[in-house]
Structure 1
Amino acid sequence: MILEAAFLFVKPELAHQFEADFAKASQYISSIEGYLGHRLEKCLEVENKYLLLVDWNTLEDHTVGFRTSEAYLEWKNILHHYYEPFPIVEHFENVFENKK
């Protein structure tokens, strides 16, 4: 499993609308083969900062499967105008985990 992580800095005056539109846009990312789940976290210290975490089966499920799809174009049209600056997206693989 691959974890996609992106810090999203949303224009402060648009945060409420961003959250509503994010819920709508979620249908597009979740329709992609290899998608396992995602969540959006809101930062407590920085008002307009969010953390997007997406689980994928493989890196290519995100970088090829999603980013070259019609679903990505819809996602982009709904969400990309909210970001300033545009987010840097990184991918991680688990090397250790401990859960209670």
Structure 2
Amino acid sequence: MILEAVMLQVKQGMEEEYEDAFREASKIITLMKGYISHELQRCMEVKGKYLLLVKWETLEDHTVGFRQSVEYQEWKKQLHHFYEPFPTVEHFKNVPL
């Protein structure tokens, strides 16, 4: 399992509109091969800052399967105009303890 982590900064004053758009766009990602789950967290200290966490079966399910899909184009259309600056996406793998 891979965890995709993205710190998002939404343009000032667009937070409510973004959250509504994200709820709608969430329907897209849930249908993708390798998708496990996702959550969006709102920062309590910084207005407009969010943390997106998505669990994928494999790295390629996200980087190839989702990112190179037609569905991703719709995801971009619905969400990318809210971000400033554009976020960096990072992937993590669990460390057995």
What residue ranges of structure 2 are gaps of 5+ in the alignment? Answer: none
Give 1:62's aligned residue. Answer: 62
Offset of 1:12 from its aligned partner? 1.4
What residue ranges of structure 1 are gaps of 5+ in the alignment? Answer: none
Offset of 1:96 from its aligned partner? 3.9
* Cα displacement string for residues 75-97 of structure 1 (whole angstroms, at most 9, x for unaligned residues): 00000000000000000000046
SS at match of 1:13: coil
Give the letter for the 2:5 counterpart.
Answer: A
Q: Distance in 2 between matches of 1:18 and 1:84?
A: 12
Q: Distance in 2 between matches of 1:45 and 1:29?
A: 28
Q: Percent identity?
A: 58
TM-score (norm 2): 0.97
The number of residue pairs the alignment matches comes to 97
Give 1:84's aligned residue. Answer: 84
Offset of 1:31 from its aligned partner? 1.0
Q: CA RMSD in A?
A: 0.8
Q: 1:44 to 1:96 in 2, by over 3 A?
A: farther
